[in-house]
Structure 1
Amino acid sequence: MASTQPVPARQDSEITDDIEKKVYASSDEKHDYTDTTTYSENGLEELQLKQAEELEARLASGAADDSEYLVKDAHDVSIKVLSIRDDYELPVVTFRMLFLGLGFSAFGSVLAQLYYFKPQTLGVSESFLLIVIYFIGKAWEKFLPSRGLFRYINPGPFNIKEHGAALIMAYTASSSATAIQVISVQSLYYDNQLNPGIAIFTLLGSQLIGYSFAGLLQEALVYPSICFWPSVITPASIFQALHFDGGLGSKRTKIFWALFAGIFCYEIIPQWIFPVLTGVSIFCLVDHTSSVMRNIFGGASNNEGMGLLAVCFDWNFIGSSCLYTPLWTQLNQDIGIVFTYILMCAVYYGNIWHGLNFPFMSQAIFDIDGNQYNQTAILTDNKFDPVKYAEVGPAYFASTNALYFITANLAMGATISHVLCFYWNELLPFFRMLNPWNKTVTVTHDEHYTAMKRYEKVPKYWFLSLLAIAYGMAQATDYTGKSNFTWWQLTVILFLSSFFTIAYCTTSAILGYSQFSTQLDGFYSMIGSYMAPGDPIANMYAALYGSQPTVQGIALLGDLKLGQYLKIPPKVNFLVQVMGCIVGALLNYVMELSIVSQQRAALLSIAGTRLWSVQAIHDLVHCHCMLVVF
């Protein structure tokens, strides 16, 4: 599936031109289409859909030519790797789907929030949820009665659309919302325990804004085949293998289960029996006393080193993104990693920003002597006090951490430039569709999108209404939650967020690159510090409403594309995503409230305990306090 060329080599307009110019007629082909230029718009789309169905049949039977098996671009991925099949009559909104979706939403959100406060980070895997929901759904189908009134509980075979809708709902909820960090910091460090209603609406507002952005962008970043969302191809393929290829009896699924069982058994060794396999460095084994060796070649533990030429035997750390991320994207990431090794060594060993006074890697704040900086000593009423700051002295980041913030801001500009330079012409017609006064009709030629036209779309005013509601929630909770973040500051941040959401969602849709983590926080924190000088709480809210819509927008646009691949009706997709957001936010807050109240002493400790830690929150406090100082 990977290619050595940029994935979007063939665009939707080119596909249309091919259909209009090419005559599908030869002595050895069963299909015979003459002059397709006489076809109407719908006729062209139906012709394209029919050709894709015939191609899929030839590929499945082994009768296709070698050239037809070749995957060259995004469009080929969408029709050759995935099936365009749609069983229109399958039920979607069933009691079984809602029960499984809500149940695993609760499971995922609780687990994600629990491990946010743990020393060990554990994410909820989409593949894990997919497999477990499938097992339980098939067991439900087999063992529960399906006659009489029970037919409403067990409406027959557990189908791909029920499965997909349940997964989208569960995975939407299965993360720790960024707003939880802000709520926790206010409670732990600023003695501002938010009212439960305000906290919940803060969670909902920050997440639903991102969902609104995603809904308004789907015409540009979901419908076209150029936006094939590489990260979604794998789960979509698993769905179709489980439901279209004979379930557990198909050859491809048997291979999958064999690999799954092998990885499951193997992971026992690096996870529990022999954890040193997480990172093995020959150079550190030769000389583990040298700080230079540890800084450059170490890296099995957090902030230990850069891990150059180290070998990892733990699949949990390796991950599977390398299997579906386009080769072109991976090569660019590798180039960036090489520059990272060079730059980090240069700033540290060159003693730039007094780097040698501090650890090689750290997210903490230090004084000039390398001691932990006393942040509370420079605050008065939770705001920056320049008189106290003059007494305590200047604060410093580790040089490599300062380099991270610089390169993160540079990366934002690079992302905008990349999208404008390489994808402007291809995506401009679809972005014109966002203009309600635009009279130009843009034709989207994508077989999956064509197959979805039989379902009623979600009207744009639904997303606009949701955006208005979420914006109102954010404004109300900013004032009632003592955020010190005014209405115009929030409006400016959301305007900037919408701009960067478009850019980062575009790279995620086309290149499969979305691993920017908290890259955007530093930028929005700087903007927040300019708009609300000396106020770390307002600074946090600026980062929250700046970066969270982008994070949420990427996740939800990916789910919309998954729904298009699985032929889930758009209004059902809207329903399950909003339900996942709401359930996740509520349970995130319940877990946060319980843990913070019962483990307050452990969470306030810098080192934490074996069971509880808030390293991520410490990093957040350090970051915003430092930016307020500057």
Structure 2
Amino acid sequence: MSSNTQTVVAARQDSGLIDDIEKKDLNTGTPSSNEKLDYVETIDSDTTDDREEQLRLKEVEELEARLAAGTADDQEYLVHDAHDLVIKVLSTRDDYDLPVLTFRMLFLGLGFSAFGSVLAQLYYFKPQTLSVSQGFLLIILYFFGKAWEKALPSHGLWWYLNPGPFNIKEHGAALIMASTSSSSATAIQVISVQDLYYGNKLNPAVAIFTLLSSQLIGYSFAGLLIEALIYPSVTFWPSSITPANMFQALHFDGGLSSKRTKIFWLVFTVIFCYEIIPQWIFPLLTGVSIFCLANNSSGTFRNIFGGASNNEGMGLLAVCFDWNLIGSPCLYTPLWTQLNQNIGICLTYILMSAVYYGNIWQGKRFPFMSQAIFDINGSQYNQTAILTNNKFDQAKFEQIGPAYFSSTNALYFITANLAMGATLVHVILFYHDQLMPFIRTFNPWNKSFNVVHDEHYIVMKRYEKIPKWWFLCLLVIAYAISQATDYTGNSHFTWWQLTVILMISLVFTMAYCTTSAILGFAQFSTQLDGFYSMIASYMVPGDPIANMYAALYGSQPTVQGIMLLGDLKLGQYLKIPPKINFLVQVLGCVVGALLNYVMELSIVANQRAALLTIAGTRLWSGQNAQSFNSNAIAWGALGREMFSPGKTYYMVPVALALGALMPIPQYLLHRRFPKNKFLSNFNTGIVMQYSCFLSVGINTSVNTSSFLGIMSQWWMRTRHPRWFTKYNYIISGALDGGTQVISFILNLAVFGAAGTEVDFPQWWGNNFNLSADRCAAPA
């Protein structure tokens, strides 16, 4: 074998998606045995060539033609694994000559980036929080793009404004740009809290560069993972399958003459009309609980069986009929991922009941579900009274006494840390081969390179890749800006503390990007915030401001990394040139940062009094900023008093180490019994993350979601493969699209997001004196 070797990244490996996986010969693509194909093997560079790739691509195109024409048999429709999914559900078609970087794409992308970022920031300070979803943007961009195409001529000089039909690549690039900017960045919370509560109004340049650097670091981390987590089929990014399928149906299926397109718009219209009922007219449908209907006075019934209102209960055996709560992940998340989630949810019912009714951590003194901090009497803790000059004061703390969490909230912190430790070790043990390209990134003498056997990637090879040095330069620049803004912004966060947090963040970004790519499993955002706040409570004890910056630079890179990689995978499915994909993401990031800050500055200046009150007003509320500040005080000021050895919640940090040990016995058994499906697919990280999943929010949707997930990813996929391959993901997109559009309209029209709340008249299914599911309202 020659010294200069290639690493062949095979496309067929168990991704938690499915059952039996057949080994395929690299040259023919035909099954050679029923053994699992190793993800990475090293072979001589002379054994593969372009001809092999073209043969493989031709076979896939022929299969796609048979599937589209309906002439394939059921076995050909059957989806066994990730590779089957991406070639049978999605087309490898690439219309190479389609214009992408057009005035129309840039105008729509920048316009909706501005729209999304302004709206997201506006509603961060509203009583009714509203998010701008990717599905909503996809549909709205399609309408605007098609209207542009029809309204303007496309001949002569007009071609520069209207270069013909609004195509899939323009649409995809505009969506990626808009969705990148359509959220309120974590840095905005830090900036607004410093201004509102600590009298530290950041210099505009410092604020904007803090916004940019915290997000661009995440982009840089993700760029190092591209070879490992974008190119191969096994890293198929389940969350990108549905939007990619929607794009292809809208642009490739020939308009309304296509059956798939007709079904999409029919389902879209039906759910658009239907969602008015559960969301406004008949809220009982958000959670039908026989037990609450039978007894609406029992607090125990509310805690166990209720769940249709925020922080109400666990929703055991409740049924939800509101797609806004159910959502499409149950239709696209791999089966084994959902089974692991379901195991965790079953543990939730047991563990939450045990800690509360067993009076662990004196839990009965406090509400069953709450994210607040309490004193020993059950009253809300006076957090500001323990601070002097915005730092922890031991003498004042001794006077006021210790702080407590609700028992279920403390349990959440423990299971979150168990999940983080378990996820990291699980990824290292079970997916080390997949991560080899990422690991080799750090070896400057590495001379091997990757040959990826994935048909979508083969088609994309005609486009120039994003040079790795782009991301390395971006990382250096963003790191330098972060260091500069930390000192000029009075963050109390030193250079070495920031560096340590970023190194930890890189490790967990790698872990969670891997699970998102292969399993469709991502972290909870509050989970990351809590973890980094806990780390900072030891690094910078007693300092809430420094604690906020630790949460910012710890969690934001992971969140941004997952977003970037998911959109890069979507770009690969849509055949958007990688450099254009990178360009639109960076543009979206810059636009979002600038407009996030402008809106924050205006709102805080003009609505300061309303934002500082607990209740707020009918139009404005500082609830999100207040919550972020409370967490910073709890972890930053009280961290050592609550989590150190011998303190009430010492098990929270210990759980991280215990979680890291959990996957090891499973891995050893897996090595001994490699063909055992349970040992291959059981994931302690997912189970632990979902073992206190119901400690916050509206919880009636989990039973319906679990049922639909099993029906989709097992029953329909195996028993009705033809229907599953053609319609499962397009219906998923239609359900989400219609729901998100009507939810946006309802939020503006009747839920108070635009300033005026309009309640539907009270009746049996909309009782204002009880919870939405007619349980006793929480005290």
TM norm structure 2: 0.76
Q: Deviations over 1:80-139 (max 9, x none)?
A: 110001111111000000000011111111222222222323221211111111111111
Residue 250 of structure 1: how far off its partner (Å): 1.3
Match of 2:254 in 1: 246
- Contact residue 512 and residue 523 of structure 2 kept, 8 A: no
Match of 1:488 in 2: 496
Residue 197 of structure 1: how far off its partner (Å): 1.3
Q: Is 1:508 matched with 2:526?
A: no
Q: Is 1:19 matched with 2:28?
A: yes
Which of these residues, 6, 29, 33, is aligned with residue 16 of structure 2?
A: 6
Which of these residues, 234, 245, 259, is aligned with residue 242 of structure 2?
A: 234
| Residues in 1 aligned to 2:126 and 2:319: alpha-carbon distance in whole angstroms | 26
AA partner of residue 359 (structure 1):
P
Q: Is 1:162 matched with 2:170?
A: yes
AA partner of residue 117 (structure 2):
S
Of 539-548 and 307-316, deviating more is: 307-316
Q: Is 1:103 matched with 2:111?
A: yes
AA partner of residue 17 (structure 2):
V
Q: Is 1:116 matched with 2:124?
A: yes
Residue 430 of structure 1: how far off its partner (Å): 5.5
Residue 20 to residue 362, structure 1, CA distance change in 2 (3 Å):
closer
**Structure 2: which 5+ runs fail to align?**
1-12, 33-44, 641-779
Match of 1:547 in 2: 555
Q: Deviations over 1:603-624 (max 9, x none)?
A: 2222333433333333322222
- Contact residue 209 and residue 485 of structure 2 kept, 8 A: yes
Residue 515 of structure 1: how far off its partner (Å): 5.0
User: SS at 2:483's partner residue?
Assistant: helix
Q: Deviations over 1:388-423 (max 9, x none)?
A: 111111111111111111111111011112212322
Which of these residues, 380, 392, 399, is aligned with residue 391 of structure 1?
A: 399
Residue 302 of structure 1: how far off its partner (Å): 1.5
AA partner of residue 193 (structure 2):
V
Q: How does 1:89-488 map to 2 (within 5 A)?
A: 89-429=97-437, 431-433=439-441, 435-488=443-496
Residue 44 of structure 1: how far off its partner (Å): 2.1
TM norm structure 1: 0.94
Residue 265 of structure 1: how far off its partner (Å): 0.4
AA partner of residue 6 (structure 1):
G
User: SS at 1:331's partner residue?
Assistant: helix
Of 190-199 and 534-543, deviating more is: 190-199
Of 135-144 and 90-99, deviating more is: 135-144
Match of 2:80 in 1: 72
Which of these residues, 621, 625, 634, is aligned with residue 613 of structure 1?
A: 621
Residue 275 of structure 1: how far off its partner (Å): 2.8
| Residues in 1 aligned to 2:438 and 2:61: alpha-carbon distance in whole angstroms | 26
Q: Deviations over 1:327-374 (max 9, x none)?
A: 111111111111112111111111111111111111111111011111
AA partner of residue 19 (structure 1):
T
Q: Sequence identity of aligned pairs in percent?
A: 74
Which of these residues, 519, 523, 531, is aligned with residue 523 of structure 1?
A: 531
User: SS at 1:19's partner residue?
Assistant: coil
- Contact residue 15 and residue 82 of structure 2 kept, 8 A: no
AA partner of residue 127 (structure 1):
G
Residue 278 of structure 1: how far off its partner (Å): 2.3
User: SS at 2:542's partner residue?
Assistant: coil
AA partner of residue 472 (structure 2):
L
AA partner of residue 439 (structure 1):
K
User: SS at 2:527's partner residue?
Assistant: coil
| Residues in 1 aligned to 2:403 and 2:65: alpha-carbon distance in whole angstroms | 65
User: SS at 1:50's partner residue?
Assistant: helix
| Residues in 2 aligned to 1:369 and 1:121: alpha-carbon distance in whole angstroms | 32
User: SS at 2:551's partner residue?
Assistant: helix
Match of 2:9 in 1: none
User: SS at 1:443's partner residue?
Assistant: strand
User: SS at 1:544's partner residue?
Assistant: helix
AA partner of residue 55 (structure 2):
L
Residue 427 of structure 1: how far off its partner (Å): 3.5
| Residues in 2 aligned to 1:8 and 1:483: alpha-carbon distance in whole angstroms | 48
- Contact residue 430 and residue 442 of structure 1 kept, 8 A: no
Cα RMSD for the two superposed structures: 2.1
| Residues in 2 aligned to 1:88 and 1:310: alpha-carbon distance in whole angstroms | 50
Residue 602 of structure 1: how far off its partner (Å): 2.4
Q: Deviations over 1:4-56 (max 9, x none)?
A: 982277999x5554637769xxxxxxxxxxxxx99633222222112111111
Of 43-52 and 455-464, deviating more is: 43-52
Match of 1:33 in 2: none
Of 140-149 and 217-226, deviating more is: 140-149
Residue 277 to residue 63, structure 1, CA distance change in 2 (3 Å):
closer
| Residues in 1 aligned to 2:570 and 2:605: alpha-carbon distance in whole angstroms | 39
Q: Deviations over 1:139-177 (max 9, x none)?
A: 111110112221110111111110100000001111111
Residue 9 to residue 472, structure 1, CA distance change in 2 (3 Å):
farther
| Residues in 2 aligned to 1:21 and 1:440: alpha-carbon distance in whole angstroms | 27
Which of these residues, 59, 62, 65, is aligned with residue 67 of structure 2?
A: 59
User: SS at 1:520's partner residue?
Assistant: helix
Q: Is 1:597 matched with 2:626?
A: no
Of 514-523 and 466-475, deviating more is: 514-523
Q: Deviations over 1:306-340 (max 9, x none)?
A: 22222222211111111111111111111111111
Residue 360 to residue 18, structure 1, CA distance change in 2 (3 Å):
farther
User: SS at 1:442's partner residue?
Assistant: strand
AA partner of residue 376 (structure 1):
T
Residue 425 of structure 1: how far off its partner (Å): 2.7
| Residues in 2 aligned to 1:379 and 1:387: alpha-carbon distance in whole angstroms | 10
